[in-house]
Amino acid sequence: MFIVFLLFSYWQERKYRDKPFYKLSDVGWRKFQPSPDAKLVHSIAFLGDVGYVQTDGSDPVLRMLQEWEQNAGAQGSVLFLGDNLYPVGLPAETHRHYAAAKERLDYLLSIVGPFSGRKIFLSGNHDWNKGRKRGLEYVLRQEQHVVETLQDEQSYLPRNGCPGPDAIQLADGLLLIIINTQWWVQRGEKPMGRQQGCPYDDIEDFFLRLNKLLRRNRHQRIVIAAHHPLYSNALHGGKFTMKQHIFPLTAAHKRIYIPLPIFGSLYPFYRKLFGAYEDMSHRTYRKMRKRLLRIFHQYSNIVYVAGHDHNLQHFEVRQNHYIVSGSGSKTSFVKKGGKATFSLEHRGFFVLNYYSNGELWVEALTVNEDDTSSILGAVVFRKELHPVLQPVEQV
């Protein structure tokens, strides 16, 4: 009977996995639009986990990005949220993955190179040699290639593999802060101190600087970009499909459909309770998340955007907003409901639009992968992100 229940649940997941989930209060999102008299001041596109995009010109996400770039122009910013190159970032030239990795990176750079707005790359666990030893060497190699190709010192942030935070004023009233969350969960060498290009010698200074930055800018909208999410209804947040309980060997290879409905649950339970290095349940990730949220919960003007999980998600917690935009090149299961306002397993990316009247709107754009001849970029979710701004702090 238990096995029948698991199989029925698996069938239900497959039936509805491509359907968007909306919180009840956001079901009617299509009726809401920015104020008609508001002028678009700045637009930000967030592409996470693009490490497997096609390089022959047919990739629908990159085609959609190019369409967005044409519309945004100089008033736009493109952020790649890490895991820019699968499986291990940019290895040495003698490595077997080097040629394919460099080809993909060069193609990404050719897509954003002509764009007149800002283009910024962040690093993720795969860019750091999948979080293993010598990861710093890999990410510095990628950073150097991006900066030299784009001829822009701010095109790869934070620099030198440091934790950050790096702040960029995108427009009057809109501040971007970039942090390197991989630094906390990275195994092996990770930089610290002025000798390695980082502006402080103790990681506690990072949290002090971040809090000071947020406090001084509580009068404006703050967008924080990183690789690791702080809320997620997907794999790294400890959520698993019935498929992973019934067919656990598909984690090793997607075609190994050998049913192990009871023993198969051991692996998901382990990931949920203890976690791998890249899971929220792992002690290092958990500690980082706790410290960041303790700071963020003091404010109410923050939008935190990450990748890592290969889907699209939005959460609203304590008047701040948390977004997962990680389906740049592949997708994976995302659980519906919970604390999420919106979730969808589909390729695409989130866009934030900031207007002259102070309004900030988020849109989720998805591709039509079945018909590449049609217009790309369907809006599947839209929401105004209301802040509670505070007066300018007197220094």
What's the pLDDT score for residue 5? 46
Cα angle value 259/243/272 (rounded, 5°): 110
Per-residue pLDDT tens over the stretch 131-158 = 999 999 999 999 999 999 999 999 999 9
pLDDT for residue 303:
98
- Alpha-carbon gap, residue 167 to 174, rounded angstroms: 11
Torsion of CA 195, 199, 202, 208, to 10 degrees: 180
What pLDDT is attached to residue 8?
47
- Kindly give the confidence (pLDDT) of every residue in the chain, 395 residues in length, as a single tens digit, with 9 standing for 90 and above: 544 444 444 545 555 567 899 999 999 999 999 999 999 999 999 999 999 999 999 999 999 999 999 999 999 999 999 999 999 999 999 999 999 999 999 999 999 999 999 999 999 999 999 999 999 999 999 999 999 999 999 999 999 999 999 999 999 999 999 999 999 999 989 999 999 999 999 999 999 999 999 999 999 999 999 999 999 998 876 665 555 545 555 554 555 556 655 555 555 555 555 556 688 888 999 999 999 999 999 999 999 999 999 999 999 999 999 999 999 999 998 999 899 999 999 999 999 999 999 999 999 999 986 555 444 579 999 999 988 777 766 54
Beta strand pairing status for 221-225 and 174-178? parallel
pLDDT tens-digit readout, 228-278: 999 999 887 666 555 554 555 555 455 555 665 555 555 555 555 555 668
Please state the three-class secondary structure of 249-291 as a single string.
Answer: HHHCCCCCCCCCCCHHHHHHHHHHHCCCCCCCCCHHHHHHHHH
Q: How far apart are CA 160 and CA 192, in angstroms?
A: 10
- Residue 2's pLDDT is 46
**Distance (Å, rounded) from C-alpha 390 to C-alpha 330?**
40
